[in-house]
Amino acid sequence: MRPSLRLATLLFSIGLTAFALSVTPAQACSCSEPGPPCQGLSTHRAVFVGQVLAIEPVGLPGRPETSQRVTLRVDESFAGIETPTTTVLAERIGGGGCGYRFEVGGRYMVYGWERPDGQISVTICSRTRPVDDAGEDLLYFRSFREGPATAARIIGTAVLSENDYGLGSTPEAPFQGARIRVIQAGQSAEVTTDGNGAFDHAAALGPLDLRATLPPGYYAQAFPPSVEVRDLRACYRIRVAVHHDGHVRGRVIDAAGQAVAWLPVDLVRSDRDYPQFSGQTNARGEFDVARVAPGRYRLAVPGAPLLEPAAIRAPGPGEPVTVDRSATVDVGTVRVPADTVLALVRGRVVGADGHAIAGAEIFVSAGRADRPGTAFLVADSNGRFQFNAVSGQQYRVFAKAPGSSVAYQTRADLVPRAGTAPLQLTIR
């Protein structure tokens, strides 16, 4: 995966299935659309019809809002419940919370998700509703009495979704012609999105992976990129986010005109100081920052002043570079300011037992940032990495194993100078 994409996935988390966002009492509960009954089955552990027998107020640790423990008689179970009665939690009812409000004696179509402690929780973000309003749900689940389901459905939509930094926002639009490859049990099938950006695929039980192929000038990510099909009655909704694949290319030299290798290069949004995309020069001082969203950016180096022009067509210090949709911009040759002294930092990422972690992901921040910064590097097959930094500046280097979902697993502080000893970052 390209560095700029890693940065984007670090900054943004995109959800597909129905879920309740964590909120404070002053915030309203925020939900995505719950989808059809088949999707409710894919996102919830327990699906059943039940009548409320008793409601007990409970106080959950760290959650002062009103919560309830609800006991129901199970009249009809469709998934996850095998006992005549069951108990669910309705957490944080009212006051901005997401808990579903039950009433004693009421009959409900219930969709419950499993908490880490094994309890079933029911929220207003699910398809839970009074049974009199659940005709579509009951019709769907009862239809399988006539015969078992033969295939689950993978249903999805490809949308062109872009934040245009400094150019104005582009609304989402369906993306036609995206080729979606579904890989399952060693077999591969391909579907193409229609005029509404939609696709539909029949799947068997077990894990599957999705890949998207688009025309030049675009790239895409499927969320989630893999699915575990556990029930053939279920449908699994996929969102394919399509983005413009902009590029900013150039070459960096020092005051003596020599190429500057292994130098992180940031693209800083013109309307703020926060870098948005990042790349690194190669041994010849060349860089190509890929997957850049449309917008206006300034070229910078973590911990250093803005890069200076070294040719007439190169941008001046602080002068924005405009990247149009899916465009490639060659900024020519830029120069590190003459008073900037660089020091090469080398390092290695290892596990607790000392073995190298190939492909480890390294983020570099200038100063004492608590979270990873934009400069993104990938360790080689021996866990090694290197980058040029501003001598005497404070840096923080973060690392994590490839594919890890956490922000970082280890970090180190350093003030690079000539002859600085190599770093060793240990992931335990």
Whether the Cβ atoms of residue 226 and residue 403 lie closer than 8 Å to each other: no
Nearest partner of 274 among 293, 246, 307, 302, judged by Cα: 302
DSSP string of 408-420? -SEEEEE---TTP
Integer Cα distance of 51 and 256 in angstroms? 80
Residue 182 and residue 206: Cα distance in Å, rounded?
A: 12
- Give tens-digit pLDDT for 93-116: 766 778 899 999 999 999 999 998
Contact 241, 279 (CB under 8 A): no
Please state, in angstroms and rounded to a whole number, the distance separating the CA atoms of residues 53 and 297.
61
- Burial grade of 252 (CB within 10 A; 0-12, 13-18, 19 or more): buried
Name the CATH architecture for the domain at 246-335: Sandwich (2.60)
**pLDDT, tens digit, 9 for 90 and up, residues 348-361:** 999 999 999 999 99
Within the chain, all domains assigned CATH 2.60.40.10 are found at 152-244
Contacts of 9 (CB under 8 A, 6+ apart): 1, 221
Q: Indicate the class that CATH gives domain 152-244.
A: mainly beta
CA 119 to chain centre: 27
The neighbour count for residue 338, using CB atoms within 10 Å, is 10
Q: Where residue 326 falls among pLDDT bands split at 50, 70, 90?
A: confident
Whole-structure pTM value: 0.73
CATH class of 37-145: mainly beta
Q: 381-403: buried (b, 16+ CB within 10 Å) or exposed (e) per residue?
A: eebebbbbbbbebebbbbbbbee
CATH 2.60.40.1120 in the chain, residue ranges: 246-335, 342-427
- CATH 2.40.50.120 spans which residues of the chain? 37-145
Using an 8 Å Cβ cutoff, are 239 and 156 in contact?
yes
What's the token pair of residue 150? 């033969």
In this structure, of 21-25, 58-62, 80-84, 171-175, the range with the lowest mean pLDDT score is 21-25
- The answer, yes or no, to whether residue 314 has pLDDT greater than 60, is no
21 or 93: which leads in pLDDT: 93
For the residues 294-307, what does the mean pLDDT come to? 75
| Percentage helix, strand, coil for the chain under 3-state DSSP, each rounded to 5 | 5, 50, 45
Q: What CATH number labels 342-427?
A: 2.60.40.1120
Percent of the chain with pLDDT over 90: 55
Q: Which is more confident, 206 or 339? A: 206
Cα-to-chain-centroid distance, residue 145: 39
Distance CA 90, CA 99 (A): 5
